[in-house]
Amino acid sequence: MKNGPDHRTKNVLVEFLFRLGDDRLILGHRLSEWCGHAPILEEDIALANIALDLLGQASALLRLAGEIEGKNRAEDDLAYFREATQFTNLQLVEQPNGDFAFTIARLFFFSAFNNLLSERLQKSSIEALAGIAAKGFKESSYHLRHSKEWMLRLGNGTEESHQRMQIAVNELWRFTGEMLAFDEVEEKLQQQNVIPDLNPIAPKWNEIVAAVLTEATIIIPSHQKDGGQAGNHAVSGSRNGFHSEHLGHLLAEMQILARSYPDAKW
Amino acid sequence: MEALDEIILLERFESRINAGEKIEPKDWMPERYRKQLIRMISQHAHSEVVGMLPEGNWITRAPSLRRKISLLAKVQDEAGHGMYLYSAAETLDVDRRELIEQLLSGQAKYSHIFNYPTLNWADIGVIGWFVDGAAIVNQTMLAKCSYGPYSRANLRICKEENFHKRQGYEIVATMAAGTTEQREMVQDAVNRWWWPSLMMFGPSDNESPNSAELLRWKVKLHSNDELRQRFVDLTVPQSQAVNITLPDPELRYDKKTQHWNFGKINWEEFWNVVKGNGPCNRERLAARQKADDDGAWVREAAVAYTMKRRMNR
């Protein structure tokens, strides 16, 4: 790589790309589970579309991670031959789909985050990452709009849909804290000017989410000092490979064929 | 007097069809034509939607990211086909909800082929190759049918199905050139899907109750047997190219007719599946019913929200 990062930065960058790639791979996988089972045909199409965007982003990100890592691992090696504890996606995205309200609220929370993050990563000094982020920014703008429209419809629709949406938001809230918390990986990359400052994302995310939840007449789970994101049994550790039990099952299903015939080409 | 009018209208209708004109939604048409089209278009739409299930079964287990993405895109296309077809049916004064209820109640049919299970990854390749291949043969004809909206929907569907078929055949070719296990998977899938795929064209013409009228009104342009023969003639060389055996010992080339002769189809099996006794009929309908039930509150909410917004305006 021309003017590439030094060795230590390289490792951190690979770790960062795994985080990005894994989030999109796992959420894309979860959304693909809806295909054929959605509430209306239009939504089968929309959710599949979003899943396709995310899987496309995941594929590009993992490929790039593999290239930079230089251990001869292609995107499929990374997706299909790592263990759960080697995945660094958020616990938010590995949660089972639940009902449609749960799926939409999770998608909305993640899309708002993805949109703010992609917007910034377009300015990465790593050209390939900036390119993937530019595409991701456009795509996540659509994901955000689509999920926001459903937040409003369900929040303001019927009593049942309102209740289901409130429950979904309450359930999901504890997964959002770690999504907005960055650690030494991002800090190091920012210090090396590989990526811009990501700290403005959290307040912006809270602003977007508060506005939509208010319009959807959904109560924001907590108005505690920290926004409730750190309290209420908030989860943490995903970025270091700590997960809920759901991820292992998801991977068992996803990886079965590739792992059963490791020498086969598909 | 009315009867006389009807005869004149029918003559005019048939002469337009004979002249190769398309019939459009607002044109006069005999009630039988309308009914037959609703039956065919809705069966076609239901087939696309139910057809999402057997292939959807492998999305989460696709063996590479590229395959996962292309399978998901394919199943998504099928949902899209379902949508254009329901819209084409709606031009005949029937609404999508009514048609879906007919599917769920078992009153409306869908292609019998989707009542077979997908048991290994090669099934995904073989479905693209055989099932989409057979659908293309049928839909290429339907793209020329006399009813404008249905003809146009098929034109669009065919373009995408061609892509699906190539994708399926490529999976088959890759696996057939792969490991011993992969070759076994392909052969197993071919053995299971070949005969049901031949049945997709429907019973022989002398036993197909609707054929004569559909041919006269150019809803269909070729008989079921002609289409089936075309499919066999196209597919046999493709199977030879990947060195896969079609499970029919009677398959041989007739130099005189320049067609591949094939063995007897087990129509008893076909009718049994059509009547609801195939390996997955119950599962397919149960899955559609569950999606419909689980989605009811979502659809209600969407309607309620639209109404509220309208009232506030």
Q: Is the pLDDT of residue A188 over 70?
A: yes
The rounded distance, in Å, linking the Cα atoms of A254 and A89 is: 15
The rounded distance, in Å, linking the Cα atoms of A256 and B71 is: 17
Q: Give the tens place of pLDDT for each residue, B69-97.
A: 999 999 999 999 999 999 999 999 999 99
Q: Does B272 touch chain A (CB under 8 A)?
A: no
The rounded distance, in Å, linking the Cα atoms of B88 and B189 is: 34
Residue A85 DSSP code: G
Cβ pair B25, B149 in contact under 8 A: yes
Q: Give the tens place of pLDDT for each residue, B248-280.
A: 999 999 999 999 999 999 999 999 999 999 999
The rounded distance, in Å, linking the Cα atoms of A119 and B41 is: 45
Domain residue spans of chain A: 7-260
Residue B91 DSSP code: T
Q: Is the pLDDT of residue B48 over 70?
A: yes
Q: Does A262 touch chain B (CB under 8 A)?
A: no
Q: Give the tens place of pLDDT for each residue, B197-251.
A: 999 999 987 777 777 888 999 999 999 999 999 999 999 999 999 999 999 999 9
Q: Which residues pair with A191 in a beta bridge?
A: none
Q: Which pLDDT band, with edges at 50, 70 and 90, does A1 fall under?
A: very low
| A49 to B76: CB separation less than 8 angstroms, yes or no | yes
Instruction: For an interface test with B, give the residue of A32, A34, A256 to mutate (most B CBs within 10 A).
Output: A32
Cβ pair B140, B310 in contact under 8 A: no
- CB interface of A with B, residues 22-41, below 8 Å: 25, 29, 32-33, 35-41
Gap from A56 CA to chain B (nearest CA, Å): 8
Return the ∠ at Cα B70 (arms to A117 and B119), rounded to 5°: 125
User: Which sign, positive or negative, has the C-alpha torsion B114, B118, B124, B126?
Assistant: negative
| A52 to B69: CB separation less than 8 angstroms, yes or no | yes
Q: Does B290 touch chain A (CB under 8 A)?
A: yes
Residue type, B278: G
Q: Which pLDDT band, with edges at 50, 70 and 90, does A225 fall under?
A: very low
Q: Is the pLDDT of residue A224 over 90?
A: no
Cβ pair A156, A174 in contact under 8 A: no
What pLDDT does residue A232 have? 58
Q: Is the pLDDT of residue B312 over 90?
A: no
Instruction: For B256, list phi and psi in degrees, rounded to 5.
Output: -65, -50
Q: Does B60 touch chain A (CB under 8 A)?
A: yes
Which residues have C-beta within 8 Å of that of residue B196, sequence separation ≥ 6?
B112, B113, B116, B269, B273
Average pLDDT, chain A: 94
**% of chain A beyond a pLDDT of 90:** 91
**% of chain B beyond a pLDDT of 70:** 100
Q: Give the tens place of pLDDT for each residue, A105-133.
A: 999 999 999 999 999 999 999 999 999 99
Q: Does B247 touch chain A (CB under 8 A)?
A: no
Give the ipTM of the model, two decimals please: 0.95
Residue B262 region, left (φ>0) first, then alpha (ψ -120 to 50), else beta? beta
Pick the CATH number of A7-260 from 3.40.50.720, 3.40.250.10, 1.20.1260.10, 3.40.50.1820: 1.20.1260.10
Partners of A75 on chain B (C-beta within 8 Å) are 65
Cite the DSSP H helix spans in B146-251: 148-176, 180-199, 211-216, 224-241
Cβ pair A209, A112 in contact under 8 A: yes
| B294 to A100: CB separation less than 8 angstroms, yes or no | yes
What pLDDT does residue B207 have? 76
B140: part of which helix (H) or strand (E)? helix B132-142
